[in-house]
Chain A
Amino acid sequence: MFIWFHKLASPPYFYKFAGMLAPWLGWLSLFVIAAGLYGGLWLAPPDYQQGDGFRIIYVHVPSAWMSMLVYMVMAVAAAIGLIWRMKLAHAVSAAAAPLGASFTFIALVTGSLWGKPMWGTYWVWDARLTSELILLFLYVGYMALNHAFEDRRTGDRASAILALVGIVNIPIIHYSVKWWNTLHQGPTVFFGPRAEMPPSMYIPLFIMIIGFMVYFAAFILKRLQVEVLQRERNTAWVRALVAKS
């Protein structure tokens, strides 16, 4: 197991492994997201207060969830890259950033579209919305810093520190609705006697979250293949690969 893990960290082996796995995960995510959308948009009942408008939750919550999960992946990879100088770890951070930024952007836009009819405004500067916007800036800042240096390794290290510093924002986003009075409502309780959402509504939601995770897995592998090729462009195995194609 450990030997396999070690082998996986070697770029040529990883390139092949990712190329094999990514298409399968991609199709799987398409299937899971289609199932989740069908459950959310057709099977789930309308909400007693918000009617059919609440259905945007099936995109908003999974993307908001992913925006934080991807950041944690990025920050942990950055820490591994800094401490163990693992080649692949910095590549993981660099590949995750644009995906995380996209999820954050989708969460902000869908939240805004949801806010207008329900709250009466597209945007307010409450703690939840503001901290999520800061998350988007962190992703964008990471990407800018990562590419700001001639030497890729310098950029990797500088941006890894930014990723680490930004991790404090994650608990702030998560607990913002508990620590402060916000316009954004608190977290919904799904299970137990005080559950605030019936299974007919939360099962499609969880399917969507799983679908988004599989989608992320598929696309980070694809992006990692590109990262690995760029970073290893002067090595013999990449030249052999290019010569072959």
Chain B
Amino acid sequence: MTPVRRKRLIIVVVIVAGVAMAAALGLQAFRKNLLYYFTPVQVAAGDAHVGQHFRMGGLVAMGSVQRSPGSMTVHFTLTDMQKSVPVVYTGILPDLFREGQGIVVYGTLDKQGLFVAQQVLAKHDAKYMPPEVAAAIKKAKAAQQAQIAAKGAS
């Protein structure tokens, strides 16, 4: 490699390394702001402020969804398996909203600790499978649980 080319190569490497470092430091500094949502644990720890709009992500707790008859209002609990936060929302829910589903809610936390959501977004996981497989897994799980229950009873 000629000296001129070597010099140019060094310049290119320095540019890329410099920008990469600047980007890494910048992203590190903005870490908190880049989080798209808080988890219930972070909310419980006081990372999110009461009265301010923020997003909270987690799973819809099993058996927690309650629809008020005659209105579009839904009550449910959002959990990350450690902490849970009760949520109320009025409006149309996305197709993937169901118990056990990961969702992101946008709204405010009131003084009683109830999250008043203005928007509900469903997160979908990276899993894809045919419906027959999903049904078979569900069936196998149910059978397993029935077996455990039978053992406990005897």
Which A residues have a C-beta under 8 Å from some C-beta of B?
Answer: 45-50, 54, 57, 79, 82-84, 117-121, 124-127, 161, 164-165, 167-168, 172, 179-183, 185-189, 196-198, 200-201
What is the minimal beta-carbon distance from B138 to any residue of chain A, in angstroms? 9
Instruction: List which B17-50 residues lie within 8 A (CB) of chain A.
Output: 19-20, 23, 27, 34-39
Query: Which partner residue on chain A sits nearest B98 by CB separation?
Result: A49
Instruction: Let me know if B130 and A119 touch, CB within 8 A.
Output: no
**How many Å lie between the Cα of A125 and that of B104 in the bound state?**
13
B129 neighbours in A (Cβ, 8 Å): 47-48, 197-198, 201
Min Cβ gap B35→A in Å is 5
In the bound complex, how far is the Cα of B96 from the Cα of A94, in angstroms? 42
Q: Contact: B96 with A118, CB < 8 Å?
A: yes
Interface residues of B (CB under 8 A from A): 5, 8-9, 11-12, 15-16, 19-20, 23, 27, 34-39, 57, 93-96, 104, 119-135
Contact flag A183-B5 (CB < 8 Å), given A50-B124, A79-B12, A165-B15: no
Please report the C-alpha to C-alpha distance between residue A181 and residue B9 in the assembled complex, in whole angstroms: 37
Given A119-B121, A168-B23: A48 and B134 within 8 A (CB)?
A: yes
- Tell which of A54, A118, A161 has the most Cβ of chain B within 10 Å: A118
Task: Please tell me if the beta carbons of B121 and A185 are within 8 angstroms of each other in the complex.
Answer: no
| Residues of chain B with a CB closer than 8 A to A83's CB | 5, 8-9, 12
Q: Give the distance in Å from the alpha carbon of A124 to the alpha carbon of B105 in the complex.
A: 12
A57 to B127, CA, bound (A): 12
- A127-B34 contact given A45-B132, A161-B15, A164-B15, CB 8 Å threshold: yes
What are 23 A-to-B residue pairs whose CB atoms are below 8 Å? A45-B131, A47-B128, A47-B130, A48-B133, A50-B128, A82-B8, A83-B5, A83-B9, A118-B94, A118-B95, A120-B94, A121-B119, A126-B36, A165-B16, A168-B19, A180-B36, A181-B37, A182-B36, A183-B36, A185-B123, A185-B124, A196-B125, A201-B128
Contact A185 to B125, CB < 8 A, known contacts A168-B19, A200-B130: yes
B135 CB contacts on chain A under 8 angstroms = 48
Chain B residues in 8 Å Cβ range of A185: 123-126
Looking at chain B's contact residues, the main secondary structure is mixed
- Flag if A172 contacts B36 (CB, 8 Å): no
Task: Take A83-B5, A168-B23, A172-B27 as given contacts and tell me if A181 and B133 are in contact as well, using a CB distance cutoff of 8 Å.
Answer: no
Whether B36 contacts A181 by the Cβ 8 Å rule is yes
User: By the criterion CB–CB under 8 Å, are B5 and A188 in contact?
Assistant: no
Candidates B9, B15, B122, B128; contact of A197 at CB < 8 Å? B128
On whether the beta carbons of A172 and B23 are closer than 8 Å, the reply is: yes
Q: Which residue of B lies closest to A169 (CB)?
A: B23
CA gap between A182 and B123 in the complex, in Å: 9
A120: which of B93, B128, B133 is its contact (CB, 8 Å)?
A: B93
- Beyond the given A120-B121, A183-B121, please list 17 additional residue pairs across the A-B interface where CB-CB is below 8 A: A46-B130, A48-B129, A48-B134, A49-B127, A79-B12, A83-B12, A118-B122, A120-B120, A124-B121, A125-B36, A165-B16, A165-B19, A168-B16, A181-B38, A181-B39, A196-B128, A197-B128
- Are B127 and A197 in contact, with the CB atoms below 8 A? yes
